[in-house]
Amino acid sequence: MFESLSDKLQGILRGLRGKGRLSEQEVAAACREIRLALLEADVNFRVVREFVARVQEKAVGQQVIASLTPGQQVTKIVHEELTALLGGTASELQLDGQPAVLLLVGLQGGGKTTTAGKLARRLKEQGRRPLLAATDLKRPAAVEQLRVVGEQAGVPVFAGEGASAVEVAQAAVEKARADGLSPVIIDSAGRMHMAQELMAELAEMKQAVAPSEVLLVLDAMTGQDAVNVAGEFDRAVGITGVVLTKLDGDARGGAALSVRQVTGQQIKLAGVGEKLDGLEVFHPDRMASRILGMGDVQTLIEQAEAALDEREAAELERKLRERRFDLNDFLRELQRLGRMGSLDHLLAMIPGVQALRQQMPLELDPKRLRRMTAMVQSMTAQERETPDLIDGSRRRRIAAGSGTSRQEVNLLLKQFRQMSDMLGQFADMDGKGRFPGRIGGSRLRR
C-alpha cells in the first residue's frame, strides 16, 4: 500500500536526521523533493501545492523541542499534514432511519457489488440485519452476481422482476421496513464512463429512497482519474462519503491523498483484499503513519482481537511464559494469521517492518502457508510437542508425507524457532514474564 510514495518520503525525511538546526534552504530543498514525490504519486497538483506550502511554513526555523531532532520534528509536521489531507479523523457511517438506506454509486468495474457484500457482512457482524438490493438491471448477470455475494455474506438479496431500478429500490426499502431489516444496501448500476442517463437515474433514486449515505465506490489504483470521477458524481448526485477499493494494491496513493481535498467528502471505508472480510474503516492518522513507515499497531491489534478470543490469548500467554510454545501452537498461529488477512498487509502495520522481515524471513505467499500446514500435519503428536526430536530421518519422512522437500522442512523448523524466540521476547518485555499488551483481551499496556 503506497509503497512507492512511502519509500520516497521516508528517504527524504531520513536525510534531515542528525542536523542541529534546519535552515530555510534545507527545508526548501526537502519540500521540493516532497513535491516531486507527491506529483509522481499522481496527487492532484493543487493539493500538492497547498500541502507543500503548509509543511514549509511550519518547518522553517523549527528548533529541536524536548527530545525531538529536527528530522523528527519535520516528520511530525508531515505526519500532521498528511493526516489533515486524508480527512483528519475517521468518519462513521450514518445509519439513520427505519430502515437506514445506503446507496452505492460509481463506475462499472469499480467494485460496487463486492463492496456491497463486504459492507453487508461487516454490518451483520456488528449485530445489524442488512438487506442487499439489486438495482443494476442493465449489466448482464449483475443481479445474479449480487445474489452470489449475498449468499457468501449470509445476507438476503432483494431483486424486483420487470420493474425499473428506482422501483426496485423503493420496493426493497418497503420490504426491509416490513421485515425489520436495516440497513438497505443498494447496489446501483454503473457505466464504463460518465453518462447523463446514469446520473439522472441515480438522482431520481436518491430522491425516491432518501438514503442516509450516498457512498461513491472508487478504484484507488486509477489515481487522478478516480478523483475526476469523484468530482463529477459529487456535482451531479451529491455524495456523502467515499469507499476506496483495491487500496492494498495502490503503490502510489494519488486517489487517497486527493479525493478529500477535491470533493470535500471523507473517505469512510477502504477495501483491502478480495475476501468479504477485506473492508476497513479508513483512519487518516493511521494511514499517514503507514505512509511514513511508522506502522499501524492499533489496526493490527483490532484485527487480532477479532481473530483471537480471551481464552485463547490467556492460554498462549501462559505457554510463552512457561516456554512451552510448540509446533501445534505454531500451526494455530499461522492459521490465525490467515484469518486476519494478507500477511503483506499485516506486516505493513508493524513499525520497522523491513527489519522484522530480515530477522524472520517468513514467506508471505498463501501457498507457502498451506505447505507449512501440510508439513506440521505430517508430524507425529510427539514431534509437534517436542520439535528437538526431529532428526534427519524424521525430516525425510515429514517431507515425503507432505509432498515437500527436506530443505522446506528445515526452513519450517528454523522459522518455528525464530517465531518462538521472538514471541518469548514479547512475553518478557515488561520484565515480569507478562505480555506488554494482551491482544485477545481489552488490555493494552504501553
HSE-up of 400 (CA within 13 Å, CB side)?
6
Cα–Cα distance measured from residue 400 to residue 317, given in angstroms and rounded to the nearest whole number:
34
What pLDDT, on a 0 to 100 scale, did the predictor assign at position 355?
45
Give Cα separations from 355 to 164, 350, 359 (angstroms). Answer: 56, 10, 6
| Residues in the chain, pLDDT under 70 | 1, 17-21, 61-69, 161-162, 192-194, 249-251, 294-322, 335-366, 422-446
* Domains of the chain by residue range: 3-85, 101-291, 297-427
* Fold (CATH) for 297-427: 434 Repressor (Amino-terminal Domain) (1.10.260)
Which class is domain 101-291?
alpha beta
What pLDDT, on a 0 to 100 scale, did the predictor assign at position 288?
83
What pLDDT, on a 0 to 100 scale, did the predictor assign at position 268?
92
Q: Which long-range contacts (CB under 8 A, 24 or more apart) does 39-42 make?
A: 40/4, 40/5, 40/8, 40/252, 41/2, 41/4, 41/5, 41/252, 41/253, 41/254, 41/257, 42/223, 42/224, 42/252, 42/253, 42/254, 42/255
What pLDDT, on a 0 to 100 scale, did the predictor assign at position 297?
47
Asked if domains 3-85 and 101-291 share a fold, the reply is: no
C-alpha cell at 40: 509522481
What pLDDT, on a 0 to 100 scale, did the predictor assign at position 265?
87
Kindly report the CATH number that applies to the domain delimited by 3-85. Answer: 1.20.120.140
* Longest Cα–Cα distance in the chain: 73
Query: pTM for the complete prediction?
Result: 0.68
What pLDDT, on a 0 to 100 scale, did the predictor assign at position 383?
92
Q: DSSP state, 287? A: H
- Beta-strand ranges (E) seen in 150-228 are 157-158, 184-187, 213-219
- H or E segment and range at residue 279: strand 279-281
What pLDDT, on a 0 to 100 scale, did the predictor assign at position 195?
73
What pLDDT, on a 0 to 100 scale, did the predictor assign at position 275?
82
